[in-house]
Structure 1
Amino acid sequence: MNATFTTNDGVRLSYTDHGTGAPVVFVHAWQGSSQLWSPVAEQLAGYRRVLYDQRGHGASADPEAGWHLHRLAFDLHELLDHLALDDVTLIGHSMGCSVIWAYLELFGPARVHKLAFADQTPLMIHEAGADEESSRRISALSEEQVSGIVSGIANPATREHVLPEFLSGLFLPDFPEERKRDVITGALRVDGAFSSALFDDLAHQDWRRQVRRIEQPTLVIAGGASVVPLAGQQWVADHVPGARLEVVDGADGGSHMLVVEADKRVAALLATFLED
Structure 2
Amino acid sequence: MAFFKTSDGVNLFYEEKGEGRPIVLVHGWSGDHTTFAEPIESLSNEFRVVAYDLRGHGQSDRTGQGLTLRRFAQDLDELMEHLGLDEVTLAGHSMGASTGFEYIRNYSTDRLSSFTIFDMTPKLVNEDGWNLGLWHGEYTRPDADRDLTQMYEEFEGFSRPFMKKTVPYLTEEEIEEMLKLSAGNSPHVLAAMWHAMVTADYRDMLAGIKVPAQIVYGDKSTLYSKETAEFLNEQIPHSTVIPFENCTHMLTAENPGRIAEVIRQAAGNPSSQA
TM-score (norm 1): 0.90
What corresponds to 1:64 in structure 2? 64
The alpha-carbon deviation at position 60 of structure 1 amounts to 0.5
Query: Given the superposition, is the C-alpha separation of residues 38 and 239 from structure 1 closer, same or farther in structure 2, using an over 3 Å criterion?
Result: same
The alpha-carbon deviation at position 189 of structure 1 amounts to 2.1
CA distance in 2, matches of 1:95, 1:118: 9
1:160 to 149, 156, 168: 156
2:248 to 249, 255, 274: 255
1:232 matched to 2:228: yes
Query: Given the superposition, is the C-alpha separation of residues 182 and 108 from structure 1 closer, same or farther in structure 2, using an over 3 Å criterion?
Result: farther
Structure 1 portions without partners, runs of 5+: none
Matching of residues 16-27 of structure 1 within 5 Å: 16-27=15-26
Matching of residues 46-65 of structure 1 within 5 Å: 46-65=46-65
Are 1:57 and 1:189, in contact at CA under 8 Å, matched by a contact in 2? no
Query: Given the superposition, is the C-alpha separation of residues 104 and 142 from structure 1 closer, same or farther in structure 2, using an over 3 Å criterion?
Result: same
1:139 maps to a residue whose letter is G
The alpha-carbon deviation at position 101 of structure 1 amounts to 0.7
1:266 matched to 2:259: yes
What corresponds to 2:146 in structure 1? 148
Are 2:17 and 2:40, in contact at CA under 8 Å, matched by a contact in 1? no
The alpha-carbon deviation at position 70 of structure 1 amounts to 0.5
2:28 maps to a residue whose letter is A
1:200 matched to 2:195: yes
Are 1:56 and 1:62, in contact at CA under 8 Å, matched by a contact in 2? yes
CA distance in 1, matches of 2:70, 2:64: 15
Secondary structure at the residue paired with 1:169? helix
Q: How many aligned residue pairs are there?
A: 263
CA distance in 2, matches of 1:108, 1:39: 29
Query: Given the superposition, is the C-alpha separation of residues 168 and 82 from structure 1 closer, same or farther in structure 2, using an over 3 Å criterion?
Result: farther
Percent identity, please: 27
Structure 2 portions without partners, runs of 5+: none
The alpha-carbon deviation at position 182 of structure 1 amounts to 5.8
What corresponds to 1:139 in structure 2? 133
What corresponds to 1:169 in structure 2? 165
- Superposed CA RMSD in Å reads 1.8
Are 2:164 and 2:170, in contact at CA under 8 Å, matched by a contact in 1? no
Secondary structure at the residue paired with 2:265? helix
CA distance in 2, matches of 1:176, 1:249: 24
CA distance in 2, matches of 1:208, 1:182: 36
What corresponds to 1:214 in structure 2? 209
Secondary structure at the residue paired with 2:42? coil
TM-score (norm 2): 0.90
What CA deviation, in whole Å up to 9, does each residue of 1:95-147 have, x standing for no partner? 0011011111111111111110100011111113x2xxxx21x1222112212
Matching of residues 12-51 of structure 1 within 5 Å: 12-44=11-43, 45-51=45-51
1:6 maps to a residue whose letter is K
What corresponds to 2:9 in structure 1? 10
CA distance in 2, matches of 1:184, 1:234: 33
CA distance in 1, matches of 2:177, 2:123: 29
Query: Given the superposition, is the C-alpha separation of residues 175 and 248 from structure 1 closer, same or farther in structure 2, using an over 3 Å criterion?
Result: farther
CA distance in 1, matches of 2:173, 2:50: 29
What corresponds to 1:102 in structure 2? 102
Query: Given the superposition, is the C-alpha separation of residues 41 and 171 from structure 1 closer, same or farther in structure 2, using an over 3 Å criterion?
Result: farther
1:93 maps to a residue whose letter is H
Are 2:215 and 2:232, in contact at CA under 8 Å, matched by a contact in 1? yes
CA distance in 1, matches of 2:179, 2:21: 33
Bigger Cα displacement from structure 2, 254-263 vs 164-173: 164-173
Are 1:175 and 1:261, in contact at CA under 8 Å, matched by a contact in 2? no
What corresponds to 1:76 in structure 2? 76
The alpha-carbon deviation at position 186 of structure 1 amounts to 4.0
